[in-house]
Structure formats: structure tokens, C-alpha cells
Structure 1
Amino acid sequence: MVLGFVGAFEWAHQWWGPLSWLVLLVFLVGTLAEAYDRRLARYVLASGWGVLALFWVSAIYQFVFDQKSITEGIAVVAAIPLSLYVGYLLASGRDRLIVVSRAVAVAWLIYLPFSALPFLRNPLISIVTDQTAAVLSLLGADFEVIAGNNFPADLGPAEPVEPYHKTFFFHVPGVRAISYTIMMACTGVGSMAIFGGLIGAVRAPLARKLRALAVAVGIIWVLNIARNVFIAYSFGYQRLQVFPEFVMSTFGVNRVEVSYIVADRILAQFLSVIALVAITYIVIKLLPEVLVVVEEALYVLTGSEYDLRSALDVETRDDRDPAHHEETA
């Protein structure tokens, strides 16, 4: 029965790609329609949230069963009812959520091309790999970087990696050679897209928007390289063999993979959440207009209205997004 349950999500995962493009299409159409017919835009965007819920269903297998990610798994599962609820609120006339929908459109427009188009994705992975390798070298790590599947015949990973991936190859005495692969999820572009959407969705002077974006992207880039170095070093040298029996039984991994699970799936992801909250605060200080998106997100989560401007001691200018003023039609 359990295998059948997992198999259903594995089947749904095949629609991940088509649904990701459909999400982008519907949200872009709704965002463009806002300039001509706000009522039409509301219903198009509401349907977009329904499509987004289906996308999250297709993502369950990857994050929950394949990657065994606690943070991302919980987020994906929670995103399904939340997406449906946002669509319901929007269709019911809460027009302030249009700006949140616009943030999704911008974020998706940033992330999806990097994820799907090789001429953008491959150089990004190479740059992140090179910078991670440079920092590891400064720490005195002994490794080599392998492109694609060019591993020694007897030391390749259990599952083949994509040709465009780059892998750090560590030789540890007494342990089978350990590999840590840099893939799209290791580039930080997902977090950058979130803040790109947040900043791009609101109406504010371009100079302040660019400044906030530059600060957010810069911080994310540095922290992401630090994250990759931490995971690669901890896993490659087996530095985090913490509660191995518990980790092996909980995540279904072998003893060598314990350090990776602790470094990536537990510590790095937990710290990433804290970092995202801190970066959000910095962006709010630089671009208070984004508070309309944050306030609406809190409303969806709690059902209560919030005025964070006074709480955070920030002021927005008169060019604040008109979607902040709720209207019905």
C-alpha cells in the first residue's frame, strides 16, 4: 500500500515540467490582463493558483521521497492547500492578492529559464562550482572536480548525474571515494528568484528596487557559496557523523551519507530559513513597498490583517502599489 502511495506521487512527478511552464503562462497572462481588465485578471490569476497547487503535488515525490528534505518537503505539502486558499480568496474579491500573484509571475519568470534552458543553467552551475572549489582550496581540501559522469569506472555514484552537473570528488582513507554534486538547486537562483519576484511585483522608484535587488542577490550569492563549501567539506571529510543510527533509520541512508544529511538536509536548510527571514527584513528597510506582499502572506497564513509599517518603523511613499487598496467588482 505504501509503495502504491509513493508510486502515485512518482507518476505525478512526470508532469512537473509541463506544469511549471503552465504556471508561468497563466500567471503572466493574468499579470498582463491587470492593465486592461482587473476583474478578468483576478479570475485568471485565481486559476493560476489552482495550477500552482497541481505543480506542488507533482513536486512531492522529488522533495519528500527522493531528496528526503524536511524543510522543503513540509513547504511543498503546505503549499498545496495554501495555493488553493489564495485562489479562493482572490476569486472572492480580495484584490490585494493580485500583487502577490504578480510576485509569483516575476519569480517564475526569473527561475524557470535558468532551470530549463541549458545556455543559462550550465554556465551558472560552472561558476558556482568554480567559486566553491576556490574556497575549498583555501581551506586545504584535497579534491578534484569531475564534469558529468566522467568518474573512474569503479567509483561512480550509484545514480548517474546529468552531463551538465559538476561533482567534487573526495578521497578519504578507509572510505569509498565520496562525491558531492553541484546541481541547479545548489546555485541559489531559487532564493534569488523569490526576492526578484517580491521586489519586481511592487511599484516603487526603479533605483530603489535595483538597490534592494542587488543587496539581496549579493547576500544570497555569498551565503550560497558558503553553504556549498560547508556541505562539501562536512560530507567529503565525514565531519558530521552525528547520531548515525538515528539518521540512517530516519532517512534511509547508509553510514557514509550521514554527514551529508546532517549538513544539508538539517543544518543548511534550517539556517537557510533564518537567512531568508533576515534578508527579507533588509529588503523591507531598503524597499518598504514590499510590505504589501508580506502583509498579504501573513493574512493568508493567519486570517488577520497586519500593519507592519508602524511595527517595523518604515514608511512607504505615495507611489505604493494600488493593489494595496482592496476593491471588489
Structure 2
Amino acid sequence: MWPSVTTVGLETVVGLESATSGALAPAVLGAQPTDALAWIAIATFVAALLARWRGAAGPARSLGAAAWVAFGTYWLSMAPYYYYDVQSPLQTILALAALPLCVYAGSLLFRGRDSLFVLTKAVAIMGVIYLPAETIPFVRQWLIETTAAQTHYGMELLGHSPGINEGANGYESRFDFDSDETVTGRTTYIVMACTGLGSMAIFGGLIAAVKAPLKRKATAFALAIGVIWFLNLVRNVFIGLASPWGWFQQDWLVSFMTTYMGAEANRVSYLVAHNYISQLLSVVALVGITLLVIKILPEVLRPLEEVLFIFTGTEYDLERALGNDVRADGGTEVDGSRSGD
């Protein structure tokens, strides 16, 4: 969700949708140069998996390593945008950390840590889920406008009915608050990043990448998608109301944000609601959803162990850490002996 401000009947876009939600669109559609890196990375991930499937271990490792480097380079290229335009400390830090972490992952894979192929497969599937929805115009429009309509309905439940009109992205996604009646004179509009598809793709990739019975995978996927959809809707309603009504326009906070964070005074509520409260709570929510998924599909512990190894360089046994009743092969401990599905 991005803010806009109405002045003398004209809408001035503060956040540009094409800079993030278009960040994974192909260059042939006129998107950012960094977009090509995302496509190259995902295509190379897929090529690595195909090579491994065909039994070409050496080429698979080389392609996988190259894919990880391209993936990290893409996220590093987004750091200036997150810092200057979005003004999000969390996203900036993650973008800066992405390249060294991805290079490390690629080097581990290249040197023979084949267990990383599960994580590689997960990332490839994430891209395959996200990129088509991002780049097919009618799918993209449907996702954005449907999310906007659902968010507006959520606002109505809380007593606000601003209506929806065309946002800076050309879709019916802008909440039409009257700038003369609101505290900040600003409103917001829904972009692709507000649909929750990115988080859904993460869990879709993790769940699809592991080997497990289809019934448990489908159950875990349905649970993750349902929870993400609901929490994302709550997030959109929260930001959509906090920005125009100035829920965080306290003098001390405005002074701090304008003096030390370079924020515009009437944009403070949006930044606090979007970049700090919502993003931090999103991290907590993702951890919670992950734990729920693990209960149904313990197999996802394997790629998560690889993520921890990349971050720390230490081998972890999440099965043991989470208790003997959770096993990465889907079985359980029964009277000291293991049983599977």
C-alpha cells in the first residue's frame, strides 16, 4: 500500500507503485533494469534444478551458485529504493544483507552442499508463483482491485466508507478520502505488494519443494494462505486508516521523524504504520505461520535448517529443538520408536 496526497484537486504520488510491485516485471514491459535480474535468477534456478534432475551434478551446482549470486545482486540493487523512497530500515537492511548471504549460499552449493538444492527449489517455485501474477496484466489488475475492494469492506466495518477511485497505478485501488476532512490530507492506494502474494509465494515454494504426502501439503498450504490473507487484510485496513486520519501524528514523533529520518511531516503516520509497526508485526506473523505449518508438514524443517546454516554457519537439528514429536520426515515418536505416515 502506498500513500498519495491530494492538493488542489490533483493527486501527487509519494510512493511509486512501479518501483516495488513492478520490481519483478520483465524488462520487455518497460520496467526497471533490475527486473531483468529477477528473471535471470529465477530462470537460472530452474535450469539448475533441471540439470540435477537429468543427473548432471556438476553443471547443476554451477548453475545453482550463479542463480544465488544473481538473486542476491537483484536484492542489493533494490537497497537505494528501500532507503530513499520507501524509507524502510528493515527492508534496507535485508536488501544489503542479501548479496553476501546469497553469495555464501552459492559457494556452499558449488562446493558440494547438495542439501541446498531443496532451498534452491523452494526459491525457484516462489518465483514461478509470483512472476506470472506480477506480469500478466489482467491477473495483476484483478489481484490489486480485489484486494482494494476487500480492504474497503474492512474499513466499512469500522465505520469508514471513502469509496474507491483510480490510483496512480491506473487501477481502481485508491481510497477516496476527502483531503479537507482528514488530518493529514493524504490517502493510500493498493499496489501488488499489498496483495500478500509475496508471502503466499514464500510458503507455496517451501511446501511444494519438500517431499511429503499430498494431503498434508495441501492442508499446510491452505492454512498458510488463509492466515496470510486475513492478516494482510487487517494490515491494509490499519495502514489505510492510519495514514489519512493521522493516528501517529504526535508532535514528538513528527519532530523525530522529520529531523532524523528525513520524513515529510504529514507522511509520518503512514511511515510509522507501514514501515515500522506493520513490517515488524509481519515478521512475527511469518514466524507464527511457519510454526503452524511445521506442525502439519514437518518436512519444511529441512530447508529451514539450510537457511539457518547460511545465516550462522552452524548445523542445527530443528527436529530435536522443537521436540521429538516433530520430525522432518512427517513421522512421530511413539513410545520411543519412530512411526511414519
Query: What residue in structure 2 maps to residue 246 of structure 1?
Result: 256
d(CA) in 1 for partners of 2:76, 2:166: 32
1:195 equivalent in structure 2: 203
Pairwise CA distance, 1:112 = 1.2
Q: Secondary structure at the match of 2:188?
A: strand
Task: Assess if the C-alpha contact under 8 Å between 1:169 and 1:178 holds in 2.
Answer: no
> Per-residue deviation at 1:40?
2.1
The counterpart of 1:128, out of the listed 134, 143, 147, is 147
| Match 1:167 to one of 166, 169, 174 | 174
Partner of 1:79: 98
Deviations 1:93-118 (A, max 9, x none): 11111111111100111111122221
CA deviation profile, 1:179-203 (whole Å, cap 9, x unmatched):
2010011111111111111111111
Matched residues, number: 295
- Counterpart AA for 1:162: N
| Partner-residue secondary structure (3-state), 2:319 | helix
Q: 2:188 aligns with which of 180, 184, 192?
A: 180
- Give 1:178's aligned amino acid: R
The reply on whether 1:50 has 2:69 as its aligned counterpart is yes
Give the secondary structure class of the aligned counterpart of 2:169.
Answer: coil
1:176 deviates by 6.2
Deviation at 1:318, TM superposition (A): 7.7
Q: Per the alignment, in what secondary structure is the counterpart of residue 68 of structure 2?
A: helix
Report the residue type matching 2:166 in the other structure. Answer: A
Q: 1:168 to 1:177 in 2, by over 3 A?
A: same
Does structure 1 retain, via aligned residues, the 8 Å contact 2:75–2:99?
yes
After superposition, the C-alpha distances for 1:155-211 in whole angstroms (9 at most, x for unaligned) are xxxxxx221361112225375632201001111111111111111111111111111
What SS is found at the alignment partner of 1:234? helix
Cα shift at 1:146: 1.1
1:305 is the counterpart of 2:315? yes
Q: How does 1:196-215 map to 2 (within 5 A)?
A: 196-215=204-223
2:48 aligned residue: 30
How far apart are the structure 2 equivalents of 1:144 and 1:307?
Answer: 51
Q: Does 1:19 align with 2:37?
A: yes
Between 229-238 and 34-43, the greater mean CA deviation after superposition: 34-43
Counterpart residue number, 1:273: 283
Give the match for residue 323 of structure 1.
none
In the alignment, the residues of structure 2 paired with residue 25 and residue 287 of structure 1 have an alpha-carbon distance, to the nearest angstrom, of 27
Q: Is residue 289 of structure 1 aligned with residue 296 of structure 2?
A: no
Q: Greater shift after overlay, 83-92 or 114-123?
A: 114-123
Q: For 1:69 and 1:176, locate their aligned partners in 2 and report how far apart those are by CA, in whole Å.
A: 20
Please tell me the residue identity of whatever aligns with 1:255. Answer: A
What is the RMSD computed on CA atoms of the aligned residues? 1.7
Q: Is the 8 A contact 1:57 1:77 kept in 2?
A: yes
User: Of the candidates 265, 268, 271, which is equivalent to residue 261 of structure 1?
Assistant: 271
Which amino acid in the other structure matches residue 275 of structure 1? A
Correspondence for 1:146: 165
Mapped pair 1:68 → 2:87: yes
Q: TM-score normalised to the size of structure 1? A: 0.86
The percentage of counterpart residues that share the same residue type is 42
- Closer, same or farther: CA 253–318 of 1 in aligned 2, 3 Å: closer
How far did 1:300 drift?
A: 0.9
CA separation of 1:14 and 1:128: change in aligned 2, threshold 3 A: closer
The separation in 2 between residues aligned to 1:105 and 1:54, in whole angstroms, is 16
Task: Using structure 2 for the length normalisation, give the TM-score.
Answer: 0.83
Q: Deviations over 1:108-136 (max 9, x none)?
A: 11111122221211100111111100010
Equivalent position amino acid for 2:160 in 1: A
Q: Distance in 2 between matches of 1:284 and 1:174?
A: 44
* Equivalent-residue separation in structure 2 for 1:223 and 1:64 (angstroms): 25
| Contact 2:80–2:92 (8 Å) recurs in 1 | no
The CA deviation string for residues 232-256 of structure 1, in whole angstroms up to 9 with x for no partner, is 1111211111411111223322221
2:224–2:293 contact (8 Å) kept in structure 1: yes
Match of 1:277, as an amino acid? V
Query: Residues of 2 paired with 1:28 and 1:189: CA distance?
Result: 20
Partner-residue secondary structure (3-state), 2:302: helix
